[in-house]
Amino acid sequence: MNGAAPPRRIWLCADDYGLSDGVNRAILELIELGRLNATSVMMVTPAIGRDAAAGLQAAVANSPRCAIGLHVTLTAPFRPLTLHFRPLDGDMFLPFAKLLRRGLSRRLDAELVHAEVLAQLEAFGELFGRAPDFVDGHQHVQLFPQVRDGVLRAVKERAPEAWVRQGGRNAPLSRRLAAPKALVLDMLSAQFRRKAAKLGLRFNPAFAGAYDFTRENDFAALMRGFLDGLPADGLVMCHPGFVDETLRSLDPLTTQRETEHAYLASDDFAALLALNKVTLA
């Protein structure tokens, strides 16, 4: 008789390490509990520095299969590391919607994006002493037209062994049509995958975790849906955190981060992983 099928290993990635002390603390707790196996780090935010990097490295040392990535950040209210980045809104990056519109209308300069991503990769290397394990983007900017060209070229040049995050789902069309936000990510990701493959860069085979943060949600039910049909090495994005004044001043996603943290730390989440034969180890 054949033995039971081995569990599917997936990536459960917490975005936004470095955004605030409360976000950092929540992510570190979940790594230490074995409830995350990836986190992506913002390099242009107030809560990233030597101490935050050392804390993350110490947590990951006890979870050696936990990956640390670069969370490329190109949207307001954050500011670029490079002096000549354009376009800007005052001294900040453009807001998300304006950046996406500029990309869709081909009014961005991929060379300026490339230079900024190189600077963020360099800042990551200075703090962590190595290249990131993977590269993704805050508010999915790595997928935007023209932005993706600059991002992928920078990764190929400075971190060619890193994989890059695409946001396309592995789900029936009927399910994809029911989630408009995720459908946009599907469309943006198709070209991103083609360009990444042409450069010889690896990427996750499937993605889950997008939902409407502006409304109340049953995160446990959402997570059940995220895991349903997700293949091995597929990635689920999450945003755990504890609310503090810094977070409130920088990001509209606040109390939902605490809801995510509470569920991911719970016995119910561990039971869901076991029920679905999913592992993070």
pLDDT in tens, 221-239: 999 999 999 999 999 999 9
pTM score of the predicted model: 0.94
Taking residues 126-142, what's their average pLDDT? 98
The strand ranges marked E within the chain are 8-9, 11-17, 38-41, 67-72, 88-89, 92-93, 134-137, 163-164, 207-208, 235-238, 278-279
Taking residues 28-47, what's their average pLDDT? 97
As a whole number, the mean pLDDT across the chain is 94
User: What is the structure's pLDDT at 216?
Assistant: 85
Taking residues 240-253, what's their average pLDDT? 97
Q: Rounded to 5 degrees, what angle do the CA atoms 244, 247, 248 make? A: 85
User: What is the structure's pLDDT at 176?
Assistant: 53
Quickly state the pLDDT bin for 179 (edges 50, 70, 90): low
Q: Give the lowest-confidence range in 85-89, 168-172, 250-254, 273-277.
A: 168-172
CA 60 to chain CA centroid, nearest Å: 17
Query: What are the tokens at 116?
Result: 């900024």
Query: What are the tokens at 83?
Result: 């002096």
User: What is the structure's pLDDT at 1?
Assistant: 46
Query: Before 231, cis peptide (omega within 30)?
Result: no
Taking residues 7-27, what's their average pLDDT? 97
What is the percentage of the chain residues whose pLDDT exceeds 70?
94
Taking residues 167-184, what's their average pLDDT? 65
Q: Give the lowest-confidence range in 48-57, 110-119, 175-184.
A: 175-184
Taking residues 91-110, what's their average pLDDT? 96
Quickly state the pLDDT bin for 281 (edges 50, 70, 90): confident
